[in-house]
Amino acid sequence: RGGVDSMPPGPDCDEPICASKSELMRKMMAKSGGRAASTSAESKDAHSSLAAVDCPPDRDLLGRHTWTLLHSTAAYYPENPDDEQRAHARAFVHAISSLYPCAWCREDFHTSASHSPPRLESRTDFSLWMCEMHNHVNEKLGKPLFKCTISGLDRRWRKGGPECSLPDISLDD
C-alpha cells in the first residue's frame, strides 16, 4: 500500500505544489541518518512547523482543500438544476481539470472526468459522481475508500452530525 506520500511527482513537475512535505521530511531524515528527528513525535513537530510557515501548499494540503470544495459544491448543487446550472457545474469541473496547479494531478483528473463525465441531473447524481471520482483517486493513492451514499455524503458535506452543531445563541441578549 503506497499512499499519497509515496507517489512520485510527475516527470515535468518540480513545483512545490507537486511535492509532499511528509515526503520531504523523510528524505531529509534519510540524508541525515535519522538525526534530524529521532522520534516520530519530533518528526510530527517538524512537519507541523513546516505547515505553520506561510509556504505554498503541497499536493496533500491542496488535495484535501480541493476535495472539500468539490464535495461541498456538489452537496449544495440544486436537486433539480436548470440548463444554466448544469452548464456552470460542467464548466466548474472542466476548469478544475484544466487549471489545477499540480500538473500530473490535473492530467489524471482530466482523464478520469473525460472517461466518466459529471452526472449533473440532480444534487444526488452530482454528489455520488464526486464521491466516485474521489474514490478513484484514493484507490490510486492507496487510501481508504468512502461509502458513496447520499445520506453519508450529506452528513459529511452538508448537514453534519450533532457534534458539528453550534450552540444556540440568542442575538437578542
Q: C-alpha distances in angstroms, 121 versus 82, 94, 109, 113, 152?
A: 9, 17, 21, 16, 20
Q: In the prediction, which pLDDT does 156 show?
A: 95
Q: In the prediction, which pLDDT does 36 show?
A: 47
Distance CA 138, CA 12 (A): 22
What pLDDT tens digit does each residue of the chain (173 aa) get? 344 444 555 556 666 657 676 766 666 677 766 654 445 555 556 556 655 678 899 999 999 999 999 999 999 999 999 999 999 999 999 999 999 999 999 999 999 999 999 999 999 999 999 999 999 999 999 999 999 999 999 999 998 888 887 666 555 65
For 54-64, b/e burial (b = at least 16 CB within 10 A) is eeebbbbebbe
Do the domain assignments include residue 8?
Answer: no
On whether both 49 and 99 belong to a single domain, the answer is no
Q: In the prediction, which pLDDT does 93 show?
A: 98
Cell of 57: 501548499
On whether both 90 and 38 belong to a single domain, the answer is no
Q: In the prediction, which pLDDT does 6 show?
A: 43
Do the domain assignments include residue 106?
Answer: yes
Q: Which CATH number do you get for residue 148?
A: 1.20.120.310
* Domain total in the chain: 2
Do the domain assignments include residue 124?
Answer: yes
Q: In the prediction, which pLDDT does 5 show?
A: 44
Do the domain assignments include residue 128?
Answer: yes
How many residues belong to the chain? 173
Q: In the prediction, which pLDDT does 41 show?
A: 58
Amino acid at residue number 150: I
Q: In the prediction, which pLDDT does 161 show?
A: 84
Environment class of 126 (CB within 10 Å of its CB; exposed 0-12, middle 13-18, buried 19+): buried
Distance CA 15, CA 103 (A): 9
Distance CA 36, CA 43 (A): 8
Answer whether 141's CB lies under 8 Å from 1's CB: no
Q: In the prediction, which pLDDT does 57 show?
A: 92
On whether both 37 and 22 belong to a single domain, the answer is yes
Print the domain residue range for 145: 59-160
Cell of 52: 505553520
